[in-house]
Structure 1
């Protein structure tokens, strides 16, 4: 039975983490742990994608609190997210067999890596509030241990501290949401929660708490501050899991609450995910455009893509609330398709960043360059990942973003004027984000892999190991496969759409040549296979034409600058100069940029110095004042530590009276 097999594998993942401590002195412990973790993830993946007779699988295990147990469930939605989690986990494990061999302190990572994957699986399979919150906290704590694994650096310790604070805040919000859902009866299992009638004010409160709880883990603006700090601090295979997979588990939590446990939606539920999603997409890509840290750049692009997913989910809520099943199914399918796609290409990019970091020791793209010569395979895969995340056909990122825009184009049918005005504005924001994102990924690939090496480390780089390359090539192959045959993914997602929004897209497998039509072929359609064939044939024809009619031999010459030989790589276009127009024109929307120029006077021989400092307005205007307020209150409350025994008794008595009055009311 798939459910019992998945639970057995989750238990085995925890066992692998514990056993790694016992056998830490074995020379092959790293390869053994990652190999077993990858095998268990593959087993869960196969268990949930193989067709099964029962539509919903449920069970209760005698664990946790007495007389309550822990309930687990697999339906169409959780099966999809289980596939995403374990596909990402298997790829990260294969990559880590090679990457993890260079880890200086492997025992800071090995026990928690399989536990992290087990926690994510537990969240997706949970069927009651207790199990969900326990698995959620287990996932948060194990990932925090991975973030702080390189704790010898002060910035990593700060990143782990902020991540722990935000994770605790998110868990608290979800705990309050389940408390409101359970009501006075204290219901905790999801079946009972579904059956409880919900007042409008309770639904609104729960939705706000869920956006705060799940949004903080997913990286929604303005709850995103931990994400660009924690992802660069963690090892690269962990960063890939956190960015490509863990954020999707948070999205699953939002879907489970908003589309399932809260009952039939009201139209205004869609306003929050639409607004926060659009803001996240724009601000995330603006920050990504100006980053010099490669892993931080990828982390900010995760914020952008999470915003796109929340926009699609907001549209699905709006259409569902108005009884428009087909547009709701289109938006919901687009969201889940982008969940799958982002897990693939973001893991690929983080793997590529890890390969670059391992070969050069540098995360600053200003000190890289020319790596396409020494790391051609990594460069090829990273280019494919950049094309996919930039939504260029025929790769998979284009399909899901195209479906999102198709759903936006159906928004004029919504009857509420606020949605008629908001949705086109969101569409314009996503279009701007897509254009800026393409520029950001061109900048990332060009500065890192093209040109000439800007440092000795970049000049001496060598290709990464075979295990890492296998994982990267497997993921980029899946990106291409999902892009040219998207009909299979759409039909796979359709059962979840039918269950949670009451409709499904037309069966895409019945349309010839892998063409997809969101509504009908007469309205709009796309064929990734034909686009791929056209690109391939055009490139081949152009290459043959040049070879036949212009058969010039390959010629190498020294670099030049306006007719003069250019002896230094310092004259190349830098990442900062590439981002300067965007930084000056649009940077004020998201951040405060301070440019410092130290120009020597005429006659001085010292070098000029130029630097840019990027500030986060959300930290300056929200979190910094909040931190000051907390410290102020803590200082005032410190007097409680020095009360007399009589004052303590009076304080306890007053608190008891207050609580009794509160209960009576």
Structure 2
């Protein structure tokens, strides 16, 4: 019943999208589409929670559609139920936000038909139980999100972003198609039950893992397949950006987990090393790229790359531990990865929606044209601050817990027998620590430049607080970030069925029985964390410090202008800028990572021109990896362009020659 109802609700989202095609220009259509999407997502969220926390027996269903000899298989198990929670929680909050934000949409007819279809596509990917159905709805999810990226297609940057996204989406689907083809084998067992029962050779399994990393990794944003993400995610409307960064990337992670942990069988020891290395590199490069950005949406998009890297670090550790039958440690690593999947969906959605509120109020995404928004938008500023603290892994918020669990798994790595892993895991741990520190730096910059100081533009000076729907959505996410941080044991127990399913029924011990809701992932003499006590200590110490300062400080209050290095003019141009925050990091890492170049133009005495600093940043991944491919494709296309102008006789000759070659190949093959 839950599976049938879930499929029916997904079809209802399709129907809403079709209805919006005819009615999107009506004023009431925006509330209808987002209202129905909100209701459907809440129902799906409730059913997924009930399945995960209740009777977790897998439910299957086969429909007579799709391939004639196969049909369409669907399955609801603990893994798909957890990701359904992530998808529909994000979808519900984004829909609530859009009830207010969507009223400002300039082209609703290009958004409303595809928004519910996008939600339906993500839900169906998680329920698909055969290769054909999975790839079909995966591609539908990609195409509907591409249509949303192209909603403001008249902007040249958005058109380029949409084109690159479409190319990378096709590449990812092709990689997954080849992976499932290898898994199905010569007998063509495309349903997942047959794939689980089949035996895959070690060589084929290695190739499937590589293809899964390419296919799912390109959608998730793994380096070097991330190039589309910082262009496409900011191009979409803010509620869609929140879904793409906070939710769709998790559907991609689901695809990798389903293949690597469920369908491929016993892993080889080097699988964990490969996934670990990719995760560590992705985490550091993602946060370094984010630090260089002045556009709030691009900054957040690059931070999605960083957090995907953190998730894959946990998954790589789990694979390494499973290879060596260290299932207790694998359970810890898997719990950390799944916890961070949930956490990232919460605080990244919060930050993107907060940026959408700023964009509505000011029309600006460039931090250099913002500032001082904490005064006209205090509630948005508070919600954004909570999200910034959570993504910076500061206790007692949720981001700290999942990264702390990941470090606990890293500390268990000396027990691994392979020397490569003994050296690799601590190195990745250092990269994770570096990325955490740089993330905090990045969000000091993002919050400080955007909300503090003085307005840098008339638009920022005239900003007003966002609407009530948007504020409720922001504070729902902020509250969840806090609750998951102070009550992490409840979340860990909720993840326990998923970990047991993927890890040979080995999971962490129940945390709800621990005193004071303490989280004890291994044993209490080695590590423990109590978010509630941390929160109480922070609140008590803050109140005590404020009381002591006000009680014993001097009663004489003096007010004067803020010290500005001896320059009394209160001009916004004298403030610290986003570039100022990034400069030290750019000078440390820029020559290696970004090939950064700085040029200072200082006019001679008597010249009235202004002095200026020019900074040039390059993306070596694009220039060395993708630019040569683009150039080769353009060159080949130019050469083959002559085939458009052949006569009919030459076309027939080419077809005849190709037929002869194919027949000759078949004869030689036999």
TM (norm. structure 1) is 0.98
The one of 336, 339, 344 aligned to 1:337: 339
Alignment correspondent of 2:128: 126
Tell me, yes or no, if the aligned pair for 2:327 and 2:503 is still in contact at 8 Å: yes
Shift of 1:401: 0.2
Aligned to 1:348: 350
Q: Find the aligned partners of 1:551 and 1:359 in 2 and give their Cα distance.
A: 40
SS at match of 2:454: coil
Are 1:590 and 2:593 an aligned pair? yes
Q: Which runs of 5+ in 2 are unaligned?
A: none
What are the superposed Cα offsets for residues 110-163 of structure 1, whole Å, 9 maximum, x if unpaired?
010110011000111110001100110010000000000001100000000000
2:404 matched to which residue of 1? 402
Matched, 1:31 2:38: no
CA gap of 1:515–1:107, structure 2 versus 1, over 3 A, is same
Give distance in 1, aligned partners of 2:426 and 2:88.
36
Secondary structure of the residue aligned to 2:596 is strand
1:592: Cα distance to partner?
Answer: 2.1
Q: CA-to-partner distance for each residue in 1:377-427, whole Å, 9 max, x for gaps? A: 111011100000000000000000000000000011111111111111101
How far is 1:107 from its partner? Answer: 1.1
CA-to-partner distance for each residue in 1:470-519, whole Å, 9 max, x for gaps?
A: 00000000000000000011011111111111210111111111101111
Partner of 2:583: 580
Structure 1 residue aligned with 2:450: 448
- Alpha-carbon distance in structure 2 between the residues aligned to 1:89 and 1:634: 41
| CA deviation map 1:630-656 (0-9, x unaligned) | 222333344544345334312321133
Aligned runs of 1:365-444 on 2, under 5 Å?
Answer: 365-444=367-446
Could you tell me which residue of structure 2 aligns to residue 547 of structure 1?
A: 550
- Contact (CA 8 Å) 2:24, 2:112: kept in 1 or not? no
**Alignment-derived partner of residue 511 in structure 2:** 508
Once residues 620 and 438 of structure 1 are traced to their aligned partners in structure 2, the CA distance between those partners, rounded to angstroms, is 29
Q: Which residue number corresponds to residue 529 of structure 1? A: 532
SS at match of 2:242: helix
Check 1:216–1:556 CA distance in 2 against 1; reply closer, same or farther (3 A cut). Answer: farther
Summarize the alignment of residues 597-612 of structure 1 with structure 2, pairs less than 5 Å apart.
Answer: 597-612=600-615
CA contact (8 A) 2:377 2:464 kept: yes
Mapped partners of 1:58, 1:467: distance in 2: 38
Instruction: Spell out the pairing of 1:215-226 with structure 2 (5 A cutoff).
Output: 215-226=217-228
State the 1:262 CA deviation: 0.5
Q: Contact 1:224/1:303 (CA < 8 Å) preserved in 2?
A: yes
Aligned to 2:661: 654
The answer to whether the 8 A contact 1:269-1:317 is kept is yes
- Aligned residue number for residue 568 of structure 1: 571
Tell me whether 45-54 or 528-537 shows the greater mean CA deviation: 45-54
Question: Aligned pair in 2 of structure 1 residues 286, 659: CA closer, same or farther (>3 Å)?
Answer: farther
CA-CA distance at 1:660 after TM superposition: 5.2
Shift of 1:100: 0.5
- Counterpart for residue 626 of structure 1: 629
Distance in 1 (alpha carbons) for counterparts of 2:309 and 2:547 = 43
Matching residue within 139, 156, 178 for 1:154: 156
Pick which of 191-200 and 19-28 moved more: 19-28
**Deviation of residue 359 (structure 1)?**
0.8
Pairing partner for 1:213 from 208, 212, 215: 215
Deviation at 1:194, TM superposition (A): 0.7
- In the alignment, which residue of structure 2 is the partner of 1:636? 639
2:168 corresponds to: 166
Matched with 2:328 is: 326
Distance 2:380 2:470 in 1: 9
Partner of 1:5: 5
- 1:56 aligns to what? 58
Shift in Å at residue 588 of structure 1? Answer: 3.0
Going from structure 1 to structure 2, the CA distance change for 1:178 and 1:459 (only over 3 Å counts) comes to same
Give me the whole-angstrom Cα distance separating, in 2, the residues matched to 1:163 and 1:553.
61
Partners of 1:587 and 1:283 in 2: CA distance: 11
Deviates more, 1:476-485 or 1:578-587: 578-587
Deviation at 1:557, TM superposition (A): 4.5
SS of equivalent to 1:561: coil
Aligned with 1:185: secondary structure?
coil
1:107 maps to 2:109: yes
Report the Cα distance in structure 1 between the residues aligned to 2:591 and 2:276, rounded to whole angstroms: 22
Counterpart CA distance in 1 for 2:666 and 2:315 is: 40
Structure 2 Cα separation of the partners of residues 564 and 319 of structure 1: 60
How far off its partner does 1:559 sit? 4.1
Answering whether residue 141 of structure 2 is matched by residue 139 of structure 1, we say: yes
**Separation (CA, whole Å) in 1 of partners of 2:275 and 2:595:** 26
Rounded Cα–Cα distance in structure 2 between residues aligned with 1:404 and 1:309: 9
**Does the 8 Å CA contact 2:24/2:113 hold for their aligned counterparts?**
no
CA contact (8 A) 1:558 1:566 kept: no
- Are the aligned partners of 2:131 and 2:180 in contact in 1 as well (CA < 8 Å)? yes
| Greater mean deviation of Cα atoms: 549-558 or 470-479 | 549-558
User: CA 1:118 to 1:551, structure 2 compared with 1: closer, same or farther past 3 Å?
Assistant: farther
